[in-house]
Chain A
Amino acid sequence: MDTSEDILQQVSPDLVRGSDTARPAKAARLSPSFVSWLQAGPMMLVFLAFFLIPLVFVVIVSFWDYNEYQLLPAFSGRGYTDTFEGCIAQFPDLCTIAKTYLKTLKLCFLVWAITLFIGFWVAYFLAFHVKSKTWQMGLSLLCTIPFWTSNVIRMIAWIPLLGRNGLVNSGLIKTGLINQPVEWLLFSEFSVVLALVHLFTFFMVVPIFNSMIRIDKSLIEAAYDAGATGLQTLINVIIPLAKPGIVIGSIFVITIVMGDFITIGVMGGQQIAAAGKIIETRVNALQFPAAAANAVILLVITFLIITMMSRIVDIKKEL
């Protein structure tokens, strides 16, 4: 068995098992493998045309040359050298690009830690404390609904609250805690992290909830019967069993934040540089090879983080 079947076997045992029991129908004139191609082919074609080939183009174009007007299809490292301009000259001081990537990692880490904390306890509450199935459904739906509306709307929703004359500032002034409006609430790293947490905690809650709900409740009872405290049960039973969900949620949040340029743009007042913003800026300047070079760098970093995470937890085994 190859690895993907291993994973599928674990994700959905019936899918693979079902294949053994499927018998060719009497009237079937098409061979099963042809039918499979017919069924899966269209989706594969979409991914090929709009995902795999574009990725290849990103890598190729990152090595092309360019001028102010157009792409020049000739090998060049200019996309990369432009990106790292001045890095060696400034050493040991950090150059702009290194600072930008460090800032992106910092934002990413903050958002990850906060969403993980909130997501874990929200999922825990839903999975273990809400006993009735109807309530469980209803409350999970409540958490899911905002995910269905535009991210930009959910970002700008913070403006009336955090702005200079927003609810928070006017409230603080009225209570006499401050004399002047606090400026760092909006268009700052604070507002970026806040908005990202607001937008993407959903991606933590769902996978963690999914793995928690599959935990056999008798295991927890057994832990209590064996004399474990609540904390010991949490650390030794629940967290290890919820790990797959935690890792999947983390991968989602980290990849989204690493590539984000919209939230950081809107909530940072277009002032905060981040990996995704660099790509957007380069594209707007029509410097496609430089944009592509940054995309490759971003892709490599994201890939490294995912690999590291899957080292911590063997995803293949845990799925």
Chain B
Amino acid sequence: MKEGRPRSFYVLAIFFAAYVLFLYGPMIAIYVLSFQGPQGGLTFPMNGVSTYWLTKLFQGTGIIDLGASFRRSLLLGVIVMAVTVVLSVAAGMAFRRKFKAQSILFYSAIASLIVPSIITSLGISLEFRIIDDLIKAHWNENFETSMGLLTSGLGAHLTWTLPFGLLIMFAIFNRFDPRLEEAARDLGATPWQAFRHVVLPIILPSVIGIGLFGFTLSWDELARSSQAIGAVNTLPLDLQGLTTTVTNPDIYALGTIISAVSFAVITLALGTIHLLNKRQAAKGSDAGKGLV
């Protein structure tokens, strides 16, 4: 590496640094501004430093009940995370063998990823409206709606998180040596034992990655929630609502809190992945490294 770098290295290094600055600069600006003094406004210069706007959020003096939407987003995120992990790992296992409908599932996942969110969201809301109409017409005239956080909302979020989960599983099993599993079977392990004691420990760090993807994608999801969540709001929806009426730095304070949760989850997950990898390297055998 000491052989001297070409000039293009320095040009691109500056370009890269500028990109990173572009990426982080504005975000850092709002994190700083959320510590604006009580008299401060939406822009620099700061008018004193305080945690006034952050604490104001939790006092619930605003127009909206942020505490409730915070809990809703958290609940939804955790459920989406759990479902995404289980379904992605299961489907990822299925793709290691040929099966009918393989191509349908593959194309559904890809399509779900690239069909514009507003269309998916509209479709789900239409579907639930039609279900509601059917229930009202045939069973219960007083029925309100089947749309909600854990019905249409959960479904909408899963159409976004599952394709990512499946693609990560592809990447995992690309690097996975199937001989490890065969060895387990030859030693008499049942398929479940082979999965539980051989496959799962090896893929666990990446599975945590899927969980992390699932939670943060759901936690920050807006476009798919917008039409499909029903009467309640998630935190990003509240935040979007605030953008049209915003006059105070409390919107930045809210942004800072949402980001803080995202970053905490990322750090936690990356830390766990790192620990598991270290543990694997320390305690693991030479399995999977091949004979030569």
Contacts and interface: CB of A to CB of B under 8 A. Distances in A.
A113 B114 CA distance: 19
Contacts, number: 309
Contact of A12 (B174, B226, B240): B174
Interface in B237-292: 239-240, 243-244, 246, 251-252, 255, 258-259, 262-263, 266
B42 A43 contact: no
A149 B99 contact: no
B201 interface: no
A46 B154 CA distance: 10
Contacts of A49: 155
Contact of A4 (B97, B106, B116): B106
Nearest to B190: A27
B204 to A, nearest CB: 18
A283 interface: yes
Given A40-B95, A259-B116, A259-B119, A51 B111 contact: yes
Interface stretch (A30-38, A84-92, A95-103, A235-243): A30-38
B268 to A, nearest CB: 12
B99 A23 contact: no
Interface in A132-191: 132, 139, 142-143, 145-146, 148-161, 163, 165-167, 170
A280 interface: yes
Contact of A298 (B9, B26, B116, B159): B116
B42 A122 contact: no
Contacts of A292: 122, 126
A148 B119 contact: no
Interface string B144-161: 000000001001101100
Contacts of A105: none
Contact of A255 (B6, B116, B133, B263): B116
Interface string B29-49: 110010000000011100000
B90 A39 contact: yes
Interface residues of B, number: 105
Interface in A247-268: 251-252, 255-256, 258-262, 266
Contact of A299 (B119, B220, B236): B119
A15 B174 contact: yes
Interface of B: 1, 5-6, 8-9, 12-13, 15-16, 19-20, 22-27, 29-30, 33, 42-44, 86-88, 90-91, 93-109, 111-112, 114-120, 122-127, 129-130, 133, 152, 155-156, 158-159, 162, 166, 170-171, 173-176, 178, 182, 185, 188-191, 194, 216, 219-220, 222-223, 226-227, 236, 239-240, 243-244, 246, 251-252, 255, 258-259, 262-263, 266
Interface in A40-76: 40, 42-44, 46-55, 57-58, 61, 71
A121 B15 contact: yes
A36 B29 CA distance: 50
A149 B262 contact: yes
A82 interface: no
Nearest to A59: B123
Contacts of B243: 152, 155-156, 266
